[in-house]
Amino acid sequence: MPLRTPFTAEALVTSEGPAQRRAIAKTITLLESTRADHRAQADELLTALLPHTGKSFRLGISGVPGVGKSTFIEALGLYLIGRGHRVAVLTIDPSSTVSGGSILGDKTRMEKLSIDERAYIRPSPSSGTLGGVAEKTREAMLVCEAAGYDIVIVETVGVGQSETAVSGMTDMFVLLQLPNAGDDLQAIKKGVMELADLVVINKADLDKDAATRAQAQITSALRLFGHHGNPAHAHVVHGSHGGHGTAAPEAQWQPKVIQLSALVGTGVDAFWDAVLEFKSVQTANGRLAARREKQALAWMWERIDAGLKQAFRQHPAVRELLPQAIAQVAAGTLPASTAARNLLASQAGQA
């Protein structure tokens, strides 16, 4: 198939309506292609788009199945559209990396939002490692930003390591919780709670007492576990944003817990107020910019590591020697460090 270029970066940025939606879809399809020539074209396009990116607010949302993510995101999306925003919803579904099919990919989950032309909903890339899926989603986020979507929501289900991936590509990470006590302990145990900038107790209308109890418990847990937990929050990458010795500390965001009922439509405005407050605090103290810079560099190194591992495993000499090395190391007849050195030498052509 010859490589067609039906649009340029500029066309994607300036087009509107259905033409732009088609351009976005084609660009993302190009980004997800594994063909080398497509990838080269995608890299070129992405670099051309880059000056038009970064102007959206990037909101990560996670929560266990049943917490009501779709209902919440649809309510939020409609609320934001009503206030003049354009909203893109991207999804990282860790199950898709195993099954090739996405449990979150069904657009009918957000019926009203998906038919609104001010919203763009894209299901999870449906194959590859979690790292690969996350990379495609990061790139799709840039495409949506270049197309003028000023709110990008990246959603993931609260299983596996995908929360860390979403937290690592967004300005703010929101954790949805149910109003019961066991739930938050799981999130603490898995280290997800400490990623959260905001915890939303959804379905609070079901049991107001339980929701209030959960709010108190999670607030107390965040105080214990959340404050210094996330390096992306705890450190400012570069110098000019305070943190020098005894300089006056700038305002710091303290993770919050709020109640909400997406189904009956209460609390979405309070949620958005909290998001805007977060954005304002993080912009003033420089952490929004620092977090993005840190994320971009971490993303670069993550992709380098993945590329190095892939090249290693695909190297003919390594492929030939690896099965025996694994068997010998497992059987205890070859020291692990010696096996590693031998395999590295074989890749380098020194064996």
Interface with its own copies includes 181 (CB under 8 A)?
A: no
| Cβ atoms of residues 18 and 147 within 8 Å | no
Interface with its own copies includes 264 (CB under 8 A)?
A: no
Interface with its own copies includes 233 (CB under 8 A)?
A: no
Burial pattern 322-341, b for ≥16 Cβ within 10 A else e, equals: beebeeebeeeebeeeebee
- Rounded CA gap, 76 and 117, in Å? 15
Interface with its own copies includes 311 (CB under 8 A)?
A: yes
Question: Which amino acid belongs to residue 55?
Answer: K
Q: What is the smallest separation between the CB atom of 255 and its own copies, expressed in angstroms?
A: 14
Question: Which amino acid belongs to residue 14?
Answer: T
> Which secondary structure element, helix H or strand E, spans residue 259, and what is its range?
strand 256-259
Closest CA to 256 of 180, 157, 177: 177
Nearest-5° angle of CA 295, CA 109, CA 271?
Answer: 55
Of the candidate residues 37, 43, 269, 320, the single one contacting its own copies (CB under 8 A): 43
Query: Applying CB under 8 A, what is the total number of residues that bind its own copies?
Result: 52
Task: Please say which residue, 48 or 258, places its beta carbon nearer to its own copies.
Answer: 48
Task: Please say which residue, 25 or 336, places its beta carbon nearer to its own copies.
Answer: 336
Closest CA to 350 of 321, 326, 328: 321
Interface with its own copies includes 224 (CB under 8 A)?
A: yes
> Rounded to the nearest 5°, which phi and psi values hold at 39?
-60, -40
Task: Please say which residue, 53 or 126, places its beta carbon nearer to its own copies.
Answer: 53
Of the candidate residues 235, 297, 319, 324, the single one contacting its own copies (CB under 8 A): 297
Structure tokens at 256: 């919050």
> Which secondary structure element, helix H or strand E, spans residue 304, and what is its range?
helix 287-314
Q: What is the smallest separation between the CB atom of 147 and its own copies, expressed in angstroms?
A: 16
Interface with its own copies includes 281 (CB under 8 A)?
A: no
- Rounded CA gap, 59 and 196, in Å? 11
Interface with its own copies includes 284 (CB under 8 A)?
A: no
In the range 93-152, which residues lie near its own copies by CB under 8 A? 135, 138-139, 142
Of the candidate residues 296, 314, 320, 324, the single one contacting its own copies (CB under 8 A): 296
Task: Please say which residue, 252 or 314, places its beta carbon nearer to its own copies.
Answer: 314
Q: For tokens 């049991």, name the residue.
A: 207
| Interface with its own copies (CB under 8 A) | 39, 43, 46-47, 50-51, 53-54, 135, 138-139, 142, 185, 188-189, 191, 194, 224-225, 229, 292-293, 296-297, 299-301, 303-305, 307-309, 311-312, 325-326, 329-330, 332-341, 343-344, 348
